[in-house]
Amino acid sequence: MLRQISEDVRVNLKDRLREVREIIRQSRHDGSGDASILREATSHLPPFPGKGIEGLLSHAASAVDEALSIAEAFVPHERPIKVDGTTVKGLGTYFPVGNEDRQLDAERLFRRDMYYLTKAVLAGLNIDNARIHEADFAAVHATMRKRHGDLLAALAAPGAGLQAIAATCSALLVECLNQRPVRFAETVPGTPAGGRALDISCLAPLALACGLATTGRDGAPEPDMLEIAILAADIRHDRIVQACAKANPISELTPVFATLLAHLP
């Protein structure tokens, strides 16, 4: 219990620090950031006397950003050396059968991989200024275990087939959509009115990639597997959006994922 509490605190702290770092990085004086971010972050403060205070703050943000970059170089990270299709693990790895310690280790691996894979998907979709929350992926993992234990048990059963994998992928996408681990800037096309469709564009490739890693045609993930998942999810985007809008989205999504998993390499 204490380990879980400390892990939750650490994950939430990481998310908050990333948000602060993003504000600092977007406020640099050298033009690599967006000055409007700085104005928004300081809008609640009383006006500063004199002129040029915004430029002074931008220089300060640059100095802090560079100092944090140097500090990061000396701090060990659990960051993948390269994020591609080989980063994705099978669903059995993320949701194993075992004691609480094994579940916590799997949850940590899941949210770490999902964080970096989401960054890769956002880059592939040319979406900037989106914030990813690891804590929400942790909530997805917990909800999958609590709400979809029957699907996970079927997945772990001997001889589990494509339908079991597709159903678990469907549940994973639905829970990701419920938790919304990716938050988009208002300027991103498709928000706020089309936010659900944009969420699906970013999250469906993750669920599909996990399914592809689970089917394991040759026993080893391929570097281009994430790219394949992004393209396939884009091709079936309208069908996935329609399925997610139904009263029972998991049952509607399962045949969609089953078809993709059966035909993708």
pLDDT at 202 over 50: yes
pLDDT value of residue 185:
75
Confidence of residue 121 (pLDDT cuts 50, 70, 90): very high
Asked if 253 and 138 sit in the same domain, the reply is yes
- Domain assignment present for residue 86? The answer is no
pLDDT number for residue 11: 72
pLDDT at 211: 96
The pLDDT of residue 42 is above 80: no
Residues 43 and 153 in one domain: no
Q: Are residues 61 and 151 in the same domain?
A: no
**Same domain assignment for residues 60 and 107:** no
The answer to whether 110 touches 210, Cβ cutoff 8 Å, is no
Q: Is 131 helix (H, G, I), strand (E, B) or coil?
A: strand
- Is the pLDDT at 76 greater than 50? The verdict is no
Q: Residue 2: its pLDDT value, please?
A: 42
What's the number of domains the chain is made of?
2
Name, in order, each residue with C-beta under 8 angstroms of 184's C-beta and a sequence gap of 6 or more: 127, 129, 130, 190, 191, 195, 198
Q: Report yes or no: 77 and 186 within 8 Å, Cβ to Cβ.
A: no
The whole-number pLDDT of residue 73 equals 47
Beta carbons of 153 and 98 less than 8 angstroms apart: no
Chain centroid offset of residue 145 CA: 18
> Which of residues 41, 74, 107 is at a domain's end?
74
Expressed as residue numbers, the domain containing 2 is 1-74
Compute φ and ψ for 6, nearest 5 degrees.
-65, -35
Span 227-234, average pLDDT: 96
Judgement on whether residues 112 and 51 belong to the same structural domain of the protein = no
d(CA 83, CA 19): 21
Residue 125 host element (H or E): none
Residue 252 has pLDDT above 80, yes or no: yes
Mean pLDDT rounded to a whole number for the chain: 80
Residues 146-197: tens digit of each pLDDT: 999 999 999 999 888 999 999 999 999 999 999 999 998 765 555 444 468 9
Q: What percent of the chain has pLDDT over 70?
A: 65
Q: Is residue 237 situated within a structural domain?
A: yes
Domain boundary among 23, 49, 74: 74
pTM assigned to the model: 0.75
Query: Tell me, what's the pLDDT at 30?
Result: 55
